[in-house]
Structure 1
Amino acid sequence: MLSLTTSQSRRIKTKIKKGKSSGIDLTEQAKHRIGTMSFRSIFDAGEIRSEFENAGISCKFIPLIWKYAIQNPNGEWEEVPSLPSAAYILLRSKFKPLTSTLHSATDSSDGLTTKLLIKLKNGALVESVIMRYDTRLGKYAGKPRPGGLRSTLCISSQVGCKMGCKFCATGSMGFKNNLSSGEIVEQLVHASRFSPIRNIVFMGMGEPLNNYVAVVEAVRAMTGSPFQLSLKRITVSTVGIIHAINRLHGDLPGLNLAVSLHAPVQDIRCQIMPAARAFPLGKLMDSLQEYQRKSQQKILIEYIMLDGVNDEEQHAHQLGKLLEILQVVVNLIPFNPIGTLSQFKTSSQQNVSAFQKILRGTYNIRTTIRKEMGQDISGACGQLVVNQSDKRFAENQPLLPDIEDLHLR
């Protein structure tokens, strides 16, 4: 969100004076607008670097400031040690440690999933989901992994989504606005107070590659000091924005790519994913092949199983033939009901198993079936929508291998 101009601030202050003279109390509302709209998140990396460079302040201080903001979200800038005097003035006038607030946190019944509802400075709400996994269930080089629980954070990149996928609750919201890079990073800051985060997946609200610049900037911040996350542990999911995929490896080499394919032919894709009309399947496959040639990494293919739509044996054969040109892991996703919004039904376990058997046996494609977490708090795949009254309940889920085990092995 851009800062208010001088003329805008003057008009608001005039309204405050008029409100006082007419007996109308506009002060708090106007002050809130000035205060919240004019300050940027300290984690908006591009903004803070630009401001520091223009003021002649070394950017080497930024990681120190970020570390302080993480540890002291309600602290004062004067308490950050060893900064140039000009930095304190700039920070006080233009930046806040956090521009978002944690509205609520809801734990699943099994204690493995926590859904965070985060309120942005413009009043909008977005959701992030912490998923805890048992590393011992994954394998490395054929051997059990050492260690215990670790956490993956599912991050949102937009308020709502433009893609309009008919099986996804977030798509029912429509598109509201993009998040800034700072608002994306702040989700990690909030989540880190609940659990140490090891992996990040951009599979929350929104289409990440439709907010390309902010997502790239946020990922770069997360992989730098003080967060120090590995690019190999960050996955960006997309419905297939071809021009953005073509840029991605150059901007973030080593990043994991996931593609929400969900159908083996263009016609079915367009029926369930209206945005697919802009991204023909043949051109998308060409783009993925080029991405893989450059990155030398496996691509995660996400495929939601919809009864009678894309889950029959013929669809499995079509998908297998389509993906033969790539090195992929296919993740079959059980459809999560989204109340009255959906026209779809969940595929039977028999159909899902038969689908997996064809991909594995006939086409030698590694294929997994996602065991959903957080269904009882509407935190599972496709369920993220800001609706605090909508609660669903499911049986406890077992400890699961996480996205890293799916993607890299």
Structure 2
Amino acid sequence: MSFHSIFDLGAIRSEFQDAGISPQFIPSIWKHVLQNPKSEANGTPSLPSSAYPILISKFRSMTSTLESVVESKDGITTKLLVKLQNGSSVEAVIMKYDPSLGTYDGKPRTGSQRSTLCISSQVGCKMGCKFCATGSMGFKSNLSSGEIVEQLVHALSFSRIRNVVFMGMGEPLNNYAAVVEAIQIMTKVPFQLSPKKITVSTVGIIHNINKLHDDLPNVNLAISLHAPVQDIRCRIMPAARAFPLERLIDALQVYQTKSQQKIFIEYIMLDGVNDEEQHAHQLGKLLGMLQVVVNLIPFNPIGSLSTFTTSSEQSIIRFQKILRSIYNIRTTVRQQMGQDISGACGQLVVNLSEQRSVGGATLLTDIEDFQFQPNR
């Protein structure tokens, strides 16, 4: 028999409504579960008596379990393998950051080290991006809102999470309703994450981008662009055929007009594919009407699953310089975290047979710092 996660807001709200129980009791149940991780939700005190049979028969505090925890050699990245009640597994990654490496008004930022959680929204992914290990799995299933939130609950036992990025397994906007509900839960008591500290990444599901701001105001949007022209994008991202660049850029302009927020552009650097000077100029012109932060991502090896190689450091620096100096586009280079545990960008895949060790990582600025960093 399967149970609902106590963090499946729609399910518990529906059950309570049918029983005439006010939804105002739900946050207190979540708070009890967080404060008492070994206790079930029916241990929550001071609930209406009719709530307890519902909680016992239909809900569990956690429907997922931690199958394994792997930490990078430098201790900065922790990868969680989370087993769902249906037997499938997803991965989430905790990344620690040093805020002193960021700047505000040109001055070093202050504060203690913080953590960002990279979270999964699906088992596998049907986008089929050629540079991403998750794409090799194909699509298996969507996660419920509760299963998404449970990744945060698991992570909180290891670190205080300040930022959440939907950049793990799956295409978040292909599981739109569950992702929206999960984020709404994360921003409520007892989690109380700021929407401005949550980022949703997408390859460009246009019809859902069109409604994202209305459903999740102040949440950051990141676009996995990875190419400046449609033909290259389709070669490395087959799903891009359904989302032509011209239509995508139009949708982003509408989104930005409504949200008044910068958009993050993710661009993986593939040697000889999308990293030449002409590509930098094409990208600069493509993004000219938008307020964006471009994040250049050195390709992470995924063994025999891909034949791509990482752009040279010289190529990446040249690409960055063109975007900054000629097009005045704020451009960063993502320093790699968790490669030695296959926890870096594009490396998340369950049951990958090959073991890879490509070195550790260093403390770096994260997505929340990008809005403060001046062009260099």
Distance change (3 Å), C-alpha of 1:162 and 1:101: same
**For the residues of structure 2 that align with 1:182 and 1:408, how far apart are their CA atoms?**
33
Q: Deviations over 1:272-324 (max 9, x none)?
A: 00000000000000000000000000000000000110000000000000000
Residue equivalent to 1:335: 299
User: Runs (4+) of structure 1 moved beyond 3 Å?
Assistant: none
Distance change (3 Å), C-alpha of 1:336 and 1:91: same
**For the residues of structure 1 that align with 2:44 and 2:89, how far apart are their CA atoms?**
30
Residue equivalent to 2:6: 42
**Letter of the aligned partner of 1:71 in structure 2?**
Q
1:293-312 alignment, distance < 5 Å: 293-312=257-276
**For the residues of structure 1 that align with 2:8 and 2:180, how far apart are their CA atoms?**
12
**For the residues of structure 2 that align with 1:344 and 1:77, how far apart are their CA atoms?**
48
Residue equivalent to 1:256: 220
**Letter of the aligned partner of 1:302 in structure 2?**
E
Residue equivalent to 1:68: 32
Decide which of 297, 307, 312 is 1:348's aligned counterpart.
312
Check the 8 A contact 2:115/2:160 in 1, yes or no.
yes
Check the 8 A contact 1:264/1:318 in 2, yes or no.
yes
**Letter of the aligned partner of 1:212 in structure 2?**
Y
**For the residues of structure 2 that align with 1:235 and 1:77, how far apart are their CA atoms?**
29
Percent identity, aligned pairs only, is: 73
1:180 matches 2:140: no
Aligned-pair CA distance for 1:136: 1.1
Distance change (3 Å), C-alpha of 1:76 and 1:255: closer
Q: Which has the higher contact order (CA 8 A, sep 6+)?
A: 2
Residue equivalent to 1:219: 183
Check the 8 A contact 1:376/1:392 in 2, yes or no.
yes
**For the residues of structure 1 that align with 2:199 and 2:360, how far apart are their CA atoms?**
26
C-alpha RMSD of matched pairs (Å): 1.0
Aligned-pair CA distance for 1:363: 0.3
**For the residues of structure 2 that align with 1:261 and 1:49, how far apart are their CA atoms?**
37
1:119-158 alignment, distance < 5 Å: 119-158=83-122
Residue equivalent to 1:383: 347
Aligned-pair CA distance for 1:388: 5.8
**For the residues of structure 1 that align with 2:40 and 2:13, how far apart are their CA atoms?**
20
More helix, by proportion: 1
User: Which deviates the most, 218-227 or 387-396?
Assistant: 387-396
Q: How many residues of Structure 1 are paired with residues of Structure 2 in the alignment?
A: 373
Q: Deviations over 1:51-81 (max 9, x none)?
A: 1111111111111101111222331444211
Unaligned 5+ runs, structure 1: 1-33
User: Which deviates the most, 336-345 or 383-392?
Assistant: 383-392
Q: Deviations over 1:215-251 (max 9, x none)?
A: 0000000000000000000000000000000010000
Report SS of the residue matched to 1:70: helix
1:98 matches 2:78: no
Residue equivalent to 1:117: 81
Aligned-pair CA distance for 1:395: 2.9
Report SS of the residue matched to 1:152: strand
Residue equivalent to 2:72: 108
**For the residues of structure 1 that align with 2:201 and 2:64, how far apart are their CA atoms?**
24
Check the 8 A contact 1:298/1:408 in 2, yes or no.
no
Aligned-pair CA distance for 1:113: 0.3
**For the residues of structure 2 that align with 1:132 and 1:359, how far apart are their CA atoms?**
28
1:237-316 alignment, distance < 5 Å: 237-316=201-280
Q: TM-score, normalised by structure 1?
A: 0.90
Check the 8 A contact 2:323/2:331 in 1, yes or no.
yes
**For the residues of structure 1 that align with 2:333 and 2:309, how far apart are their CA atoms?**
17
Aligned-pair CA distance for 1:408: 5.7
**For the residues of structure 1 that align with 2:278 and 2:265, how far apart are their CA atoms?**
18
Q: TM-score, normalised by structure 2?
A: 0.97
User: Which deviates the most, 51-60 or 214-223?
Assistant: 51-60
Check the 8 A contact 1:360/1:366 in 2, yes or no.
yes
Aligned-pair CA distance for 1:407: 4.4
Check the 8 A contact 2:105/2:372 in 1, yes or no.
no
**For the residues of structure 1 that align with 2:193 and 2:125, how far apart are their CA atoms?**
27
**For the residues of structure 2 that align with 1:175 and 1:389, how far apart are their CA atoms?**
18
Check the 8 A contact 1:373/1:397 in 2, yes or no.
yes
The structure with the larger Rg is 1
Report SS of the residue matched to 2:326: helix
Report SS of the residue matched to 2:325: helix
Report SS of the residue matched to 1:363: coil
Decide which of 174, 197, 200 is 2:161's aligned counterpart.
197
Check the 8 A contact 1:109/1:396 in 2, yes or no.
yes
**Letter of the aligned partner of 2:48 in structure 1?**
P
Check the 8 A contact 1:198/1:233 in 2, yes or no.
yes
**Letter of the aligned partner of 1:159 in structure 2?**
V
Unaligned 5+ runs, structure 2: none
